[in-house]
């Protein structure tokens, strides 16, 4: 149990291992102390999805408090926010206590994650008390512990992915630091050269200030040039003076922007790959280890080898996956016990977690409900004609043309009543399309989990219908459009057009790769949230209230200088950036986003430096280093890796085995089934030709099996399979201690292919 508790995800192998203990316990065989049925039930409860969802809910409530705390978007009294915060802390604490219950004591206390959470809870409580006490005595202090809130997001066991990225960043730091120092050395050298070359020329910038005379300012200007934000302005005075000086800046940009920034990407990417590979290897070995542990609990001697009896195997699967059908379980058994010997050997048992992970969809060959209720009407000549029409390629093309015409109408003027009537026509056409499709195809198949585009279409159309009706009724009631509803109507109308992408096969392939990246992007979103949140909290403490936004026609004092005379004649005020401030958390996030995009960040940095102190620039430089040099490069590494894994995607061994078995069992398919099969094939053309997908069917007591699309897999799962394909089935892998201490440079097992590939 100790290994399972160390890093508790809801993985199949953990459940299997736990279930093996439960099963074992029920039959009163050798029960170790710490795996009493009660402990296992607690463990199950800990891993239940409701508990995990609740934890996430409170983590986000805690983070979201910043919206209501001073400086607030919607100000709430301190008492309210602090009570909610205490509630969150209580939830975190009880979650931690629960975790301690299902974990051996020494493992729990060795884990830095738990220590981190405890310290964060304690520190937050202390800060709350101090701040509250000072507030009562009317002294304003800083709620500095808000800075620590993302710690809960990182350190709860569920955020394994985000933690891995942070580990990867930590591992990359030494190497990136040396490259960064070399890069800074280069910037400093070029600045020195610039000072000597241009300092005595009496040149002036566009604003009329002296050009390149102060060393520190030159360093800042050239650092900004690395980010390209002040190109070509920073070059123009020198370039105007002499053509030759442009060579200085071109050399600078080539070395520092192109060369060094690419080197940063290379270093980050290389480390990301190296550590990802190592983590995947650990996971794969850990899985194998747990499966062998489960096998050892259940094994009985059969002839010369140890095996798991069929009855026990079935009990186990029922415990772990109570909602899969009997026939699905039969299928899995047939795959695990190919020769139908009545037991499962070690090699097949170890694959069980993977088998359970494969989404084998058991589909009943269902007749259309209408055919069931009124077969006469549904199979009439008219109905058959409609159905064949809908299945025809021309149907798709017709609707593509309709979408294009719709696009033109959207671009035209809204005020013309004819055009606003046309909108109703298009909406009805789209609704008609969905109704026809549902009429033709089996509705349960049409709205199957994997039918992404059907779901997308239908929800967009329904939302558009509701919004349009709402808008129309508001208009007739109050004679004017509700702006919010209208905005939503506009967006939905345009989103409807996206569907045209799905009709062109090449686009579909790219779209599927992009959709595949989404889970990885969510991890990245978590990472970005943590960093943004911390910088936003600091930014608000540093800059809140320094810059004010006034509406266009405001007559307030210094309205044009964002309410701060220090900004008079600054680029910041002239570009009307007043709304880019740190006066609440939403504005802070927008400003940080702008800083991430990099362009004009020096204008923002200079603006905030003017209203506070020149040292404020350090905040912006720090943000640039952390976010643009580290985080964005990790994002690019994410996407590159996801793409390359997609490209080198091969069917995994386990999957092939189950497919083969489905095919084997399905020998002798009837003519009539083929027709049904064709129907489903036709309906799913959008998936069929995606290369990575397989649809296989098997009639067995009216059931068809189909391996769910590979679309929604994560890069991790793919990499893990690539690696597992290389561990020999007989290989038991290293011990738990060895697994946990694996480093990227260890070659265990000697595995050149995987190492060079990932």
Calculate the alpha carbon distances from 533 to 47, 64, 71, 628 in Å: 28, 10, 14, 16
Of the two residues 161 and 230, which places its CB atom closer to a copy of itself in the complex?
A: 230
Of the two residues 166 and 643, which places its CB atom closer to a copy of itself in the complex?
A: 643
- Interhelix angle 585-597/601-611, nearest 10 degrees: 130
- One of 319, 324, 431, 497 touching a copy of itself (CB under 8 A): 497
The count of chain residues that interact with a copy of itself, using the rule CB under 8 A, is 89
Q: How many CB atoms lie within 10 A of CB 361?
A: 15
- Rounded to whole angstroms, the Cα distance separating 201 from 193 reads 13
Q: How far is the CB of 238 from a copy of itself (least distance, A)?
A: 10
Q: How far is the CB of 205 from a copy of itself (least distance, A)?
A: 9
Between residue 209 and residue 238, which ones bind a copy of itself under the rule CB under 8 A?
Answer: 215, 228-233, 235-236
Q: How far is the CB of 695 from a copy of itself (least distance, A)?
A: 25
Candidates 229, 230, 248, 228; CA nearest to 238 is 248
470 binds a copy of itself (CB under 8 A): no
> Among the candidate windows 133-141, 282-290, 635-643, 682-690, which touches a copy of itself by CB under 8 A?
635-643
Between residue 590 and residue 619, which ones bind a copy of itself under the rule CB under 8 A?
Answer: 590, 593-594, 597-600
> Among the candidate windows 79-87, 146-154, 557-565, 579-587, which touches a copy of itself by CB under 8 A?
579-587
- One of 107, 402, 470, 639 touching a copy of itself (CB under 8 A): 639
- Rounded to whole angstroms, the Cα distance separating 648 from 630 reads 27
Between residue 499 and residue 518, which ones bind a copy of itself under the rule CB under 8 A?
Answer: 501, 506-507, 510-511, 514, 517
- One of 181, 377, 425, 432 touching a copy of itself (CB under 8 A): 181
Between residue 379 and residue 408, which ones bind a copy of itself under the rule CB under 8 A?
Answer: 407
> Among the candidate windows 61-69, 498-506, 613-621, 690-698, which touches a copy of itself by CB under 8 A?
498-506
576 binds a copy of itself (CB under 8 A): yes
- Sign of the Cα torsion 684, 685, 690, 691 reads positive
Q: Are 754 and 726 in contact (CB under 8 A)?
A: yes
> Among the candidate windows 74-82, 185-193, 324-332, 373-381, which touches a copy of itself by CB under 8 A?
185-193
Between residue 515 and residue 534, which ones bind a copy of itself under the rule CB under 8 A?
Answer: 517, 521
240 binds a copy of itself (CB under 8 A): yes
Contacts of 715 (CB under 8 A, 6+ apart): 516, 520, 638, 641, 642, 645
197 binds a copy of itself (CB under 8 A): yes
**By three-state DSSP, how is residue 411 classified?**
helix
750 binds a copy of itself (CB under 8 A): no
Q: How far is the CB of 685 from a copy of itself (least distance, A)?
A: 19
Q: Is 79 exposed, middle or buried (0-12, 13-18, 19+ CB in 10 A)?
A: exposed
656 binds a copy of itself (CB under 8 A): no
Q: Are 146 and 103 in contact (CB under 8 A)?
A: no
632 binds a copy of itself (CB under 8 A): yes
- Rounded to whole angstroms, the Cα distance separating 396 from 398 reads 5
Q: Where are the beta strands (DSSP E) in 567-726?
A: 703-707
Calculate the alpha carbon distances from 355 to 65, 337, 521, 654, 655 in Å: 43, 13, 27, 7, 8
Q: How far is the CB of 363 from a copy of itself (least distance, A)?
A: 32
- Rounded to whole angstroms, the Cα distance separating 519 from 513 reads 11
Locate all alpha helices (DSSP H) within 65-159, ordered by sequence: 78-101, 105-110, 112-136, 150-155
> Among the candidate windows 117-125, 689-697, 737-745, 749-757, which touches a copy of itself by CB under 8 A?
749-757
Calculate the alpha carbon distances from 83 to 72, 129, 142, 153, 300 in Å: 17, 12, 18, 20, 56
416 binds a copy of itself (CB under 8 A): no
**By three-state DSSP, how is residue 559 classified?**
helix
Q: How far is the CB of 595 from a copy of itself (least distance, A)?
A: 9
Of the two residues 57 and 490, which places its CB atom closer to a copy of itself in the complex?
A: 490
Instruction: Return the structure tokens found at 52.
Output: 């995990």
Buried b (16+ CB within 10 A) or exposed e, 715-737: bbbbbbbbbbebbeeeeebbebe
- One of 554, 586, 614, 735 touching a copy of itself (CB under 8 A): 586
363: which strand partners? 704
- One of 556, 575, 622, 674 touching a copy of itself (CB under 8 A): 575
> Among the candidate windows 126-134, 281-289, 343-351, 586-594, which touches a copy of itself by CB under 8 A?
586-594
270 binds a copy of itself (CB under 8 A): yes
| H-run or E-run covering 444 | helix 443-446
> Among the candidate windows 251-259, 294-302, 458-466, 700-708, which touches a copy of itself by CB under 8 A?
251-259
Between residue 548 and residue 567, which ones bind a copy of itself under the rule CB under 8 A?
Answer: 549, 551-552
């Amino acid at each position: 149990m100790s290994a399972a508790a160390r890093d508790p995800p809801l993985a199949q192998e953990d459940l299997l291992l736990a279930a093996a203990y439960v099963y074992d316990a029920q039959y009163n065989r050798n029960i170790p102390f710490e795996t009493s049925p009660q402990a296992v039930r607690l463990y199950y409860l800990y891993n239940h999805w409701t508990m995990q969802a609740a934890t996430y809910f409170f983590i986000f409530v805690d983070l979201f408090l910043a919206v209501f705390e001073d400086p607030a978007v919607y100000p709430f009294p301190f008492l309210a926010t602090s009570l909610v915060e205490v509630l969150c802390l209580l939830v975190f604490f009880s979650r931690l206590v629960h975790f301690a219950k299902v974990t051996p004591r020494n493992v729990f206390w060795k884990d830095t994650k738990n220590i981190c959470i405890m310290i964060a809870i304690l520190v937050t409580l202390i800060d709350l008390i101090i701040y509250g006490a000072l507030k009562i005595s009317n002294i304003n202090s800083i709620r500095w512990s808000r800075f620590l809130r993302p710690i809960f997001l990182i350190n709860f066991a569920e955020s394994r992915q985000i933690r891995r990225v942070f580990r990867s960043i930590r591992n990359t730091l030494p190497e990136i630091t040396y490259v960064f120092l070399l890069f800074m050395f280069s910037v400093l050298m070029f600045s020195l050269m610039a000072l000597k070359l241009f300092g005595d020329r009496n040149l002036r910038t566009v604003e009329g200030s002296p050009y390149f005379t102060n060393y520190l300012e030159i360093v800042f200007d050239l650092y900004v040039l690395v980010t390209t934000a002040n190109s070509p302005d920073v070059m123009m005075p020198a370039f105007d003076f002499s053509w030759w000086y442009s060579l200085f800046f071109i050399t600078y940009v080539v070395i520092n922007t192109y060369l060094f920034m690419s080197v940063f990407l290379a270093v980050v990417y290389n480390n990301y790959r190296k550590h990802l590979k190592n983590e995947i290897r650990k996971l794969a070995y850990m899985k194998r280890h747990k499966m062998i542990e489960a096998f050892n609990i259940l094994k009985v001697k059969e002839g010369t080898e140890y095996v798991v009896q069929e009855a026990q195997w079935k009990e186990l699967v029922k415990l772990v996956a109570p909602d899969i059908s009997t026939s699905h379980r039969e299928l899995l058994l047939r795959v695990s016990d190919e020769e139908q010997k009545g037991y499962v050997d070690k090699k097949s048992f170890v694959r069980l977690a993977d088998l359970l992970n494969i989404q084998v969809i058991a589909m009943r060959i269902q007749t259309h409900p209408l055919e069931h209720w009124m077969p006469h009407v549904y199979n009439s000549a008219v109905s058959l004609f409609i159905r064949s029409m809908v299945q025809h390629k021309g149907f798709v093309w017709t609707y593509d043309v309709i979408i294009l015409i719709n696009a033109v109408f959207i671009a035209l003027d809204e005020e013309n009543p004819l055009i606003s009537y046309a909108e109703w026509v298009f909406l009805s056409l789209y609704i008609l399309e969905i109704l026809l499709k549902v009429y033709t195809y089996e509705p349960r198949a049409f709205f199957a989990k994997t039918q992404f585009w059907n779901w997308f279409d239908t929800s967009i159309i329904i939302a558009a219908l509701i919004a349009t009706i709402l808008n129309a009724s508001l208009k007739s009631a109050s004679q004017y459009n509700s702006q919010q509803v209208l905005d939503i109507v506009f967006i939905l109308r345009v989103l409807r057009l996206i569907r045209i992408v799905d009709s062109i096969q090449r686009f579909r392939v790219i779209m599927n790769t992009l959709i595949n990246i989404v889970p990885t992007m969510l991890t990245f979103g978590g990472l970005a949230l943590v960093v943004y949140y911390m910088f936003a909290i600091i930014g608000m403490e540093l800059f809140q209230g320094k810059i004010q936004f006034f509406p266009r026609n405001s007559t307030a004092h210094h309205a044009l200088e964002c309410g701060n005379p220090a900004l008079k004649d600054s680029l910041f005020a002239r570009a009307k950036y007043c709304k880019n401030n740190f006066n609440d958390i939403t504005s802070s996030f927008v400003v940080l986003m702008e800083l991430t995009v990099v362009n004009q960040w020096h204008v923002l940095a200079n603006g905030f430096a003017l209203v506070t102190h020149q040292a404020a620039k350090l905040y912006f430089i720090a943000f640039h280093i952390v976010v643009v040099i580290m985080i964005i490069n990790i994002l690019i590494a994410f996407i590159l890796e996801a793409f390359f894994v997609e490209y080198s995607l091969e069917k995994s061994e386990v999957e092939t085995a189950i497919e083969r078995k489905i095919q084997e069992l399905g020998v002798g398919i009837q003519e009539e089934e083929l027709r049904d099969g064709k129907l489903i094939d036709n309906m799913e053309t959008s998936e069929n030709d995606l290369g990575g997908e397989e649809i296989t069917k098997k009639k067995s007591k009216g059931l068809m099996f189909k391996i769910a699309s590979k679309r929604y897999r994560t890069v991790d799962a793919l990499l893990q399979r690539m690696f597992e394909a290389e561990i020999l089935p007989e290989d038991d892998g290293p011990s738990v201690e060895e697994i946990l201490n694996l480093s990227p440079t260890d070659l265990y097992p000697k595995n050149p292919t995987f190492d060079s590939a990932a």
